[in-house]
Chains A and B, each alone.
Chain A
Amino acid sequence: MNAPLLAVDALTLRHRGGAETLRQIGFELATGECLAVLGESGSGKSTLARALIGLLPPGASVSGTLRFAGELLTAKRHAQLRGRRIAMVFQDAAASLHPLRRIGVQLDEALRRAASATSVAAALREVGLDEAAGFAARYPHQLSGGQRQRVMIALALAASPQLLIADELTSALDPLAAQGVLELLDRLRRERAMALLFISHDLHAVRRVAGRVLLLHAGAVDALAAADAFFAQPPSALAQQLVAAAALRRPPAEVVAAPIVEVRGLGADYARHPALREVSFALARGAALGVVGASGSGKSTLARVLLALQRGHAQSLRIAGADPFALSASARKAWRRKVQIVFQDPGSALDPRLRVADCLSEPLALHGHGARASWPQRVRELLAAVQLAPELAQRLPHQLSGGQKQRVAIARALALDPEVLVCDEALSALDRTVQAGILDLLQQLQRERKLTLVFISHDLATVRALCDRVLVLEHGRVVEQGATAAVLADPQHPHTRALIAAAGAGAPLHCADAAAEARPS
């Protein structure tokens, strides 16, 4: 048996003056194998990736050894290998590409630097970007998220690395694009016999590509198992929790009559292009409507129009008893109490300079809600409603975790006792376990407050768990709508089928045998 490509032994990392972020990590990675690193945010996934590529923040002290192809990695050797034999692809492709240079030029530069004989066209073809479509001549902003990730992969492959580290590569993509990228990674791994370290919090993605799974918890290895075994018999308590959270169950629906949202022939433009066309639906009080579709299908535009944050035009529009676009400014302000929104990114959902208490008092101040002296009491009630400790009221957003921030954002939306709550990808940026908690919270609020939910998501599992009805958008048009169970069980439109196929927990793509051969016993 040959030596493993990468051997990590007792890797411990401590930030200056801080706690250990990685503790005694040890694992091996064979040529051609895919190891997935799972873990909640803050478990040290990304720190591990940075340690493996040798890009640690200054002031971090590392102990333990890294061996690459049998050779001990010193800082100097690491710098020589980085970008050549060890390459990394980051989550945010938009930030990693030069915005003002054509894709072909950037790729050409990378290929030249690597003294590679591959042509730009061949490199693009290898990552599934057809040269006939003229991708080489495009700028990054002219590509979709999935295409940008493919370009990033092509750049990383320019120097023919033996190890590719993918950090949350597919987390920001819609299921269709994510599936394409996952298939690509799996194919490249097999064709190039390249080792792949796949960091993700998405269990579906991990299931598709990984041969083995390394679960991190608080910087230490919680479990390390073959992927099949990991999902079949989760080896630790945390693994069980994660696997269980990924397979969410649908609660019994409780539908009340009298529509609270009624939309007929709604259209909206974005930058002079039609983003929504002829959207019609009705929603009963206390119901939950799931809105699904690929990225760019108009989901977020629909949310913004329902909130009257963006102009729309409709044959008829009644949201919480009024057409917001027909209201006077002061009447619309009063109307806004009834319709609220929670956004996707908890990181920017809260004003970084406002303490939680001030943030939750803001809606009260805007609408002259009771006496100022009564606000702290109301803030405590709101925090309790979203299951947060009252002590958090004095924190600033950066002192909260992603899940806590999202709960505060929900509390702020609830402050004025709205009738309709629009969640625009409100769970997508969170870990599975945190998602499950927030999902429970939303269900509870829906039951207790008779809240009507419009739940926009690209995650069909959560839509299935939460929503009675589902509406499928493609290119701004409704292609299918109906009861969630019926639509997901028996999709009529090809786009719905494609979404379900991409998102379903189908059979893993990965051939575990290839990795098993290469893995040392």
Chain B
Amino acid sequence: MGGERSLRSAIGLFVLLACASLVGPWLRPFDAWHSDWELLQVAPGWAHGHWLGSDAIGRDVFVRTLLAGRVSLLLGFGAGLCALAFGLAYGALAGTLGGGSERVMMRALDVVSALPFLLIVVLLLTLFGRSGVLLVLAVGAYASIDLARMLRAEAARLRVLPFVQAARALGAGPWWLLTRHIAPNLLGFAFVYLSLAIPQAILVESFLSFLGLGLDEPAVSLGGLLAEGVQELEDAPWVLLAPATFLALLLVAFTLLGDALRARRDLRA
């Protein structure tokens, strides 16, 4: 059926991009930070070996794009998992407890989400230095707010279902309900959301890197490459186009994956 096919093509595209970013850099003899002083800003082509051209200081765009893609993917997955852990714990707990504790927890979340995220991240990164771990935690925490809200609603729906009520009638306390019944039944839902949260995290991270708030040199993510590419846009547009295309494809793959997963879930429900 249509759903199966779009799921397969989304997975295919995703695996292709992931493999390219993992294996791709080894296909070429260039180092990502090595400057080829003979060939500055050469256009894409086969003859000189720089398939996607080189940048202003002669670094290979092909290798750098795939390497940055790898970094972005890692940060995205890290932040996504981080969001899943925070969001699932917080949302499921609030939804399971219900009543006053639920209201207090959700209002607290409203307060946190009202704070300007970017400002806080900038503050944190300046205070504690620009590290990958901090970036992952910050972006993950940001994405977890929405996830916690959705999982809270889903958990509250589960809470009133007969099987949870039956467990309560058997003497199960909130912790038992949370760990045995509610959290396991939220996982499917959470994974669908994860396929939307990861591209969001990648985008936010790219945005931060683009503004120069991302990883420290020499590590570089797609956002960092985009920032470099913009500098050379007039002389060497390929320096921008290569990472931009990779980022776009990555986001498309995740969006398709999320849609296909959601359709599958809806079909089963």
Contact = CB atoms under 8 A, between A and B. Distances in A.
Interface of A: 58-59, 304, 307, 309, 329, 332-334, 336-337, 339-341, 343-345, 348-353, 362-363, 366-367, 409, 412-413, 415-416
A331 to B, nearest CB: 11
Contacts of A416: 170
Interface of B: 1, 161-163, 165-173, 176, 180-181, 184-185
17 contacts: A307-B169, A309-B169, A341-B165, A341-B169, A343-B162, A345-B162, A351-B163, A351-B180, A351-B184, A352-B163, A352-B185, A362-B180, A363-B170, A363-B171, A367-B170, A409-B166, A412-B166
Contacts of B180: 351, 362
A367 B165 contact: no
Nearest to A345: B162
A345 B260 CA distance: 30
B167 A362 contact: yes
A250 B181 CA distance: 39
A362 B166 CA distance: 11
Given A362-B180, A412-B166, 16 more contacts: A309-B165, A332-B171, A333-B171, A337-B171, A340-B169, A340-B170, A348-B163, A349-B162, A351-B163, A351-B167, A351-B184, A362-B167, A363-B170, A366-B176, A367-B171, A415-B170
Given A58-B1, A59-B1, A351-B181, A344 B162 contact: yes
A336 B170 contact: yes
Contacts of B171: 332-334, 336-337, 363, 366-367
Contacts of A415: 170
B173 to A, nearest CB: 8
B220 to A, nearest CB: 43
A339 B169 CA distance: 8
Contacts of B170: 336, 340, 362-363, 366-367, 412, 415-416
Given A59-B1, A366-B176, A350 B163 contact: yes
A349 B172 contact: no
Contacts of A345: 162
A332 B171 CA distance: 8
Contacts of B173: 329, 333
B168 to A, nearest CB: 6
By CB atoms of chain A within 10 A, which of B169, B171, B181 has the most?
A: B169
Nearest to A336: B171
By CB atoms of chain B within 10 A, which of A307, A344, A415 has the most?
A: A307
A103 B134 CA distance: 52
Given A336-B171, A352-B185, A343 B1 contact: no
A343 B166 contact: yes
A309 to B, nearest CB: 6
